[in-house]
Amino acid sequence: MTAAEPLRDVVAAQLSSLTAPGHVLNTDSDRITYIRYAADVRRAKFRKRVVAECLDRQNPVRGGLSAVVSAGAPGAGKSTALRARAPDLDGYWILDADIVKDALIE
């Protein structure tokens, strides 16, 4: 067992709880943005365009069935740490908030 495993288990339990049916991060939550803004046609078109652009940037070798997930504060070095430990990330989806933020600025 590594030192990070107990914390990982706590975070996993919290995420499982928050994403359970009826909770705030579940897809049935009334707080989820695509439900909250369902009537906003411009927002829906923008969202679809940004998602399509992000998906078009990558072509994972495993057909999109693999992902590496990291979390942390902005500038904490997540990308640097991932590339140091797994230099061949081209076969995985990279879900990077900065890519979406670039689209928002444009």
**20 or 74: which carries more pLDDT confidence?**
20
Residues belonging to the chain: 106
- Give this prediction's pTM: 0.51
Over 80: is that where the pLDDT of 98 sits? no
**34 or 49: which carries more pLDDT confidence?**
49
pLDDT confidence of residue 1: 62
How do the domains of the chain map onto residue ranges?
1-36, 51-106
Half-sphere exposure of 33 (CA within 13 A, CB side): 3
Structure tokens at 102: 């670039």
